[in-house]
Structure 1
Amino acid sequence: MKIFEGSAVALVTPFFADGSVDFNQLEELTEWQVSQGTDAIVACGTTGEASTLTNDEHIAVIEAVVKKVDGRIPVIAGTGVNDTNHAIELSTGAERVGADALLVVTPYYNKANEDGLFMHYEKIAQSVKLPILLYSVASRTNFNIPPHMVKRLATIPNIVGIKEASGDISQIATIAQIMAEDQDFAIYSGNDDQVLAITALGGSGTISTIANIAPKATSELTKRLLAGDYERARQLQLAQIPLIHTIFSEVNPIPVKKAVGLLKGTETHYRLPLSQPSEATVARLEKEMQAYGLEG
């Protein structure tokens, strides 16, 4: 059974000016996402600045989202790091506080050979009972999961899908082809501008950055796609392109987190090495958000 179909938001993690987690705002954003029709929430993903959270903060953020969601939609915890034992620690912690599934990115920096990659995921999977999504995003990790490795990793019982952010539609088509007989294996778009293409290839939806500011429209996009209404879905996808380009005009999540602040009228804070976007980026965000119909 797939964890979800439709639109999952890779949720930002709000901070106070002193760098501590703003749990009140986190809960408000979580509730807003549920009310807007988002189908699942990813806590502590890349967009959530997970790499700068301490272990205690990481688990506390996941727990806060789980408690606020209260079973209404799945909560997927980002628990992937480049140290297998550390990933196990985060994964078991996420399971303990009630996460419904895990999103586990490939090892970065030290990376792995194919046997090491398999054993990395196998050890993590054996440490929990939760379903796991692979996460392939070579632009950040310099490590791509090729189609034959996706098929091999899918033999691990609780690996049930992949967030595919390689940007390579040909690769994703090959993954869809070789996994076609496994109806329970889900492919999710990890790039906001490829939701239509990946879902048309048999994908189950998206794990989205733009859903932080346009959750209702992103949910409608995936619902139209899954219902086979490709004409309306095409219109919705193309309408988002200028805003997508803007929220990725600087390294993610700098622009989208600022966009959330503009939309909600709240201050925006980051943890170093991330910092505030340029004035030009903020002006572009304001322009494209207004053009898209997003008002603070």
Structure 2
Amino acid sequence: MFSGSIPALVTPFRDGSIDEAAFRRLIDWQIDNGSSALVACGTTGEASTLSNAEHHRVIEICIEQAAGRVPVIAGCGSNDTRNALLHMTFSKKAGAAAGLCVAPYYNRPSQAGLIAHFSFLAENSDLPIVLYNVPARTVTDIEDETVVALVRKYPDRIVAIKDASGDLSRVADHRMGIGRDFCQLSGNDELWLPHAAAGGRGCISVTANVAPALCAEFHEAIAANELQKARQLNDRLFPLHYAMFSDASPAPVKYALSRVHDWMTDEVRLPIVKASDKARKAVDEAQASAGLL
């Protein structure tokens, strides 16, 4: 259902509020530079610091501005199942193509709890679901058997997975358990190339926020099986992947965007603070190495 370079968009802030004008410019820039879909209100979008009203407004702006040019995947995750359903219901009405649903964080549900959570969402909303597994943040791993069971139970509802587990063997495990056509997206920029080699369709990317054209070109090289070109682009992007996490995300990526666009600020919301001097140096060097400055 999805493929290619899919930026997990930042949410621009200015003086404590959502900067709608900057967000609309960011969306246009992403689409003009080859991004194949957009994620609004993911982890990089600081969804955990947004009120529900703000959360829904960011999704609404993204869908309005994209205007059907690319699909929008709306961040709908929550540690509260009913609040996740609230986000999905709104996103469906707003015109989202799918909802990105992270494993419930903090609660630490069992695998049976995860099945119950995602089953409830699948049975109470007809918005397609992209599972999001990021155990480093949620302390809850959506195990392979759970993914397989959910997709087999709801093949028309659960359409993809963003896997940020860091375990590349899962791509093959999901292919063997579900089928080769199941849409698997890398959630780790630095693993995009081997993930694709194992059968992945693309990446929901942090780096694509600041290097959309390079990331789109990288995917195109992979899709065309131009391995030498893909390796060259991967080498060029690799320092940037690590620089984006040289401090608590999304502080480094917001700083990087402020370096290339005068309409972007590096403002974040507590408990995230602006990128440290050390992180800024790493970002500057990586952007220069990639030819972005």
TM value normalised by structure 1: 0.95
Q: Residue 118 in 1 paired to residue 115 in 2?
A: yes
Tell me the secondary structure at the aligned position of residue 63 of structure 1. helix
Write the distance in 2 (CA, Å) between the matches of 1:177 and 1:219.
28
Whichever residue aligns with residue 180 of structure 1, its letter is G
Query: Could you tell me which residue of structure 1 aligns to residue 10 of structure 2?
Result: 12
Q: Does 1:79 align with 2:76?
A: yes
Partner deviation per Cα, 1:90-111 (whole Å, 9 max, x = no partner): 1111111111111000011112
**Is the contact between residue 28 and residue 66 of structure 2 (CA under 8 Å) also seen in structure 1?**
yes
Q: Which moved more, 1:227-236 or 1:58-67?
A: 227-236
Give the letter for the 2:17 counterpart.
S
Distance of 2:223 and 2:289 partners within structure 1: 27
CA–CA distance in 2 between the matches of 1:24 and 1:126? 36
Deviation at 1:271, TM superposition (A): 0.7
Residue of structure 1 equivalent to 2:275: 277
CA–CA separation in structure 2 for the residues paired with 1:267 and 1:130 = 33
Task: Provide the rounded CA distance (Å) in 2 between the counterparts of 1:65 and 1:36.
Answer: 16
| Structural mapping, 1:194-273, within 5 Å | 194-265=191-262, 266-273=264-271
Q: Which residue pairs with 1:70 in the alignment?
A: 67
What is the alpha-carbon distance in structure 2 between the residues aligned to residue 76 and residue 126 of structure 1? Answer: 19
Contact residue 146 and residue 171 of structure 1 kept, 8 A:
no
Q: Give distance in 2, aligned partners of 1:11 and 1:73.
A: 14
* Structure 2 residue aligned with 1:174: 173
Residue 89 of structure 1, aligned match among 77, 86, 89: 86
**Backbone CA RMSD of aligned residues:** 1.2
Write the distance in 1 (CA, Å) between the matches of 2:179 and 2:224: 19
How many pairs are equivalent? 290
Q: Look up the equivalent residue of 2:248 and give its one-letter code.
A: V
Whether contact under 8 Å (2:254, 2:265) holds in the other structure is no
Matched, 1:22 2:22: no
- Deviation of the 1:172 alpha carbon: 3.1
Percent same amino acid among aligned pairs?
41
Gaps of 5+ in 1: none
Aligned partner of 1:261: which letter?
S
Give 2:201's aligned amino acid.
Answer: S
Q: Say whether residues 1:161 and 2:160 are aligned partners.
A: yes
Q: Note the alpha carbon deviations across 1:120-171, whole angstroms, 9 max, x for none.
A: 1111122222211100001100111121111011121310110000011123
Paired residue type of 1:159: I
2:286 maps to amino acid: E
TM-fit CA distance, 1:46: 0.2
User: Secondary structure, in 3 states, of the residue corresponding to 2:18?
Assistant: coil
CA displacement, residues 156-192 of structure 1 (integer Å, 9 cap, x when unaligned): 13101100000111233322332335x2x20001000
Equivalent residue, structure 1, for 2:292: 294
Which structure 2 residue ranges, 5 or more long, are not aligned? none
Q: Give secondary structure in 2 for the equivalent of 1:154.
A: helix
Task: Say whether the 8 Å CA contact 1:176–1:201 is kept in structure 2.
Answer: no
> Partners of 1:231 and 1:128 in 2: how far apart?
43
d(CA) in 1 for partners of 2:265, 2:140: 35
